[in-house]
Chains A and B, each alone.
Chain A
Amino acid sequence: MKRWLPSPALSVSLMLMWLMLNGSVEPAHWLLGGVLGIVAPLLSRPLQPHGYAVLRKPMALVRLLCFSAIEIVRSCINVSQIILMRRAVRVNSQFIRVPLDLRSPHGLALLSCLINTTPGTVWVDLLPAKHELLLHVFDLHSEAWWVETIKTRYERPIMEVFEHPVSRGELS
């Protein structure tokens, strides 16, 4: 089972993607989607040096995605306001550093996607020396607020989803 279906969640989502792409629920498409869901993860396994992600708490992931969807719309409105209303020289764009405890590569990938999708913040680099995230903020009002938000609203739920509770204890 484990050998032929390394990640059931990935297989199911590939099959759903196939059905959506074709816009039909005919048995033939279920079959083709099923084949895709089994074959594609097996073929792409060598491309995944860290293995497939294991979701420990799917509900926490859903909550996180809902929160970031709201956050995206909110920051869209903020960024549009700044572009329209304010003179460009008065926009306080800064690089800030956020110390991270998150180590899981899948978690870091998700965090970078969420941060980059949210308008107004761009992930620049992960500084290896202290495992700090270098972040560019479009209009910075308070650095401490950003560090706090990223650590509590984004990093903690992602650690719940992707990391063992044990390994988290060792890290801190």
Chain B
Amino acid sequence: MTGAESLSWWAAVPIALLLVLGGLVTVIGALGLVRLQDFYQRIHGPAIAITLGAGCILLASMLYFTLSQSRLVIHEVLISLFVLMTAPVVAMLIMRAGVYRDLRNRSERAGTGDTSAPD
């Protein structure tokens, strides 16, 4: 396998751009976890990291290995397929767990006569 320095500039520039873009999007997704207020908003932050962030990095990986080994390397397509098939399920499960937790808290509060404001 050849190193990154042997790549010509027309290949290195798009790969570097994609990597930087993917990294930026992932950072923004993580920033969302910090900045957003409640649980239901925070679940939307990582969604951009797993779609556009992972997509850009995998595209860069495909380009880099295809060009540096001069053969078609596309098994990253499988990674993105598996991510796109499993991540939605996880998001749905976490969301429903959150909703049921809130519903239970609310009914417990109603049961004990505690009238502090529900969220």
Q: Does A pair with B?
A: yes
CB distance from A124 to the nearest CB of B (A): 5
In the complex where A20-B78, A116-B87, A136-B95 touch, is A79 in contact with B37 (Cβ < 8 A)?
Answer: no
- Choose, from A30-38, A85-93, A147-155, A163-171, the stretch at the interface: A85-93
A73 to B31, CA, bound (A): 18
* Residues of A close to B45: CB separation below 8 A: 79, 83
- A28 in the interface (beta carbon within 8 A): no
- B101 in the interface (beta carbon within 8 A): no
In the complex where A88-B41, A136-B95 touch, is A17 in contact with B78 (Cβ < 8 A)?
Answer: yes
The answer on a CB contact under 8 Å between B28 and A83 is yes
B47 in complex: contacting residue of A119, A124, A125, CB < 8 Å:
A119
Please give the number of chain B residues whose Cβ is less than 8 angstroms from any Cβ of chain A in the complex. 34
B48 in complex: contacting residue of A76, A88, A136, CB < 8 Å:
A76
* Residues of A close to B48: CB separation below 8 A: 76, 79-80, 119
When C-beta atoms are compared, the residue in chain B nearest to A86 turns out to be B35
A21 to B37, CA, bound (A): 41
Interface string of A112-132 (1 = CB under 8 A from B): 110111111011110000000
A36 to B11, CA, bound (A): 37
- A55 in the interface (beta carbon within 8 A): no
Q: Enumerate chain A interface residues (CB-CB to B < 8 A).
A: 17, 20-21, 23, 72-73, 76, 79-80, 83-84, 88-89, 91, 93, 112-113, 115-120, 122-125, 136, 138
Q: Enumerate chain B interface residues (CB-CB to A < 8 A).
A: 25, 28-29, 31-32, 35-38, 40-41, 43-45, 47-48, 51-52, 72-75, 77-78, 84-85, 87-89, 91-92, 95-96, 99
